Chain A
């Protein structure tokens, strides 16, 4: 299976408030609100850590969840955030990792 890396777009503004990540896109001023687990993944999106590892360390180690289910959910989340341009994905580490 291909290794997937994720990084936050530089064209956003974000702020963590009461465990909820608020993200505003500079592309279209769209507003996103991430729940606790999505926030954990978002914060770990450093462009160097594979998504699978992020899920293991930030999700499975904290919440009682089956690793494959967690990874599937995380991939769906990543697809959604990438579609809005606020998260970037690659099959190799990002050269200028955040």
Chain B
């Protein structure tokens, strides 16, 4: 049961990126929302890598305009925004989330938790659309307006969409692997719960013609860093972040993809 609650907790386990996270709530309506929103990623019976108790509060008790703040004190993470406040102890992999019933709050918390858990392993979440074609994951990175949703919506049928907004990258002994995520952008379509070795990273640029050009390591690292989700405000994670970006660029081919909003761009992407 949740602390201070007389109701039994319902646990919903979301397995995103092979990193199952258990979310426990006493509110059956909220649990139902989680199961519906993250349908392809709900995996009952899996042992969670991290667990959170969720305490739902009235939106009136929150400060919706507050910006996101992430802090670490004595090894415990705290991340809070106007619509949520969460704490997590990575040593015991348990945490607590206080939030309104908004799906956007839990979505943000999940993105942050995965980012923090991945950071120590050389993995990251990336502002990128992604999909799998011919057994390889292809990442299409860019900030808002760069064309992530466009490139995802133009994908032909043989592409399995991983995300149109936030892509998930893990560093494994055999190389980098990308996973589908339920984190959606304008397409509002969750990615498939599949994974594949990363084949290439494309840096999106809207232009007057379809063109693919290789990108040198310095520019690749710069552009990658611009698109990695990162929340820490300390020296050590920043050093790690730069190391992660350099390592990724040393192993994965990076291209600039200038494209027209036209399905023919996918003829160039194999």
Contact = CB atoms under 8 A, between A and B. Distances in A.
Interface stretch (A8-16, A43-51, A61-69): A8-16
A87 to B, nearest CB: 15
B217 A26 contact: no
Given A17-B217, A18-B216, A26-B233, A33 B238 contact: no
A21 to B, nearest CB: 9
Contact of A13 (B217, B218, B241): B241
A17 B218 contact: yes
Contacts of A24: 225, 238, 241-242
Nearest to B234: A26
A20 interface: yes
Contact of B218 (A22, A25, A28): A22
Given A14-B242, A15-B242, A17-B246, A22 B221 contact: yes
Contacts of A11: 235, 238
Contact of A18 (B217, B241, B242): B217
Contacts of B225: 22, 24, 31
B30 interface: no
Given A31-B226, A33-B222, A25 B217 contact: no
B239 interface: yes
A27 interface: yes
Q: State the main secondary structure of chain A at its contact with B.
A: strand
Contacts, number: 52
Nearest to A21: B218
A13 B221 contact: no
A19 B241 CA distance: 20
Contacts of B234: 26
Interface in A24-44: 24-29, 31, 33
A10 B236 CA distance: 10
Given A20-B218, A31-B222, A13 B230 contact: no
A52 B182 CA distance: 55
Contacts of B235: 10-13, 26
Given A24-B225, A26-B233, A27-B233, A18 B238 contact: no
Contacts of B232: 26, 29
Interface string B239-262: 101110010000000000000000
Contacts of B237: 26
A71 B161 CA distance: 53
Given A28-B233, A29-B238, 4 more contacts: A17-B217, A18-B218, A22-B222, A26-B234
Interface of A: 10-15, 17-20, 22, 24-29, 31, 33
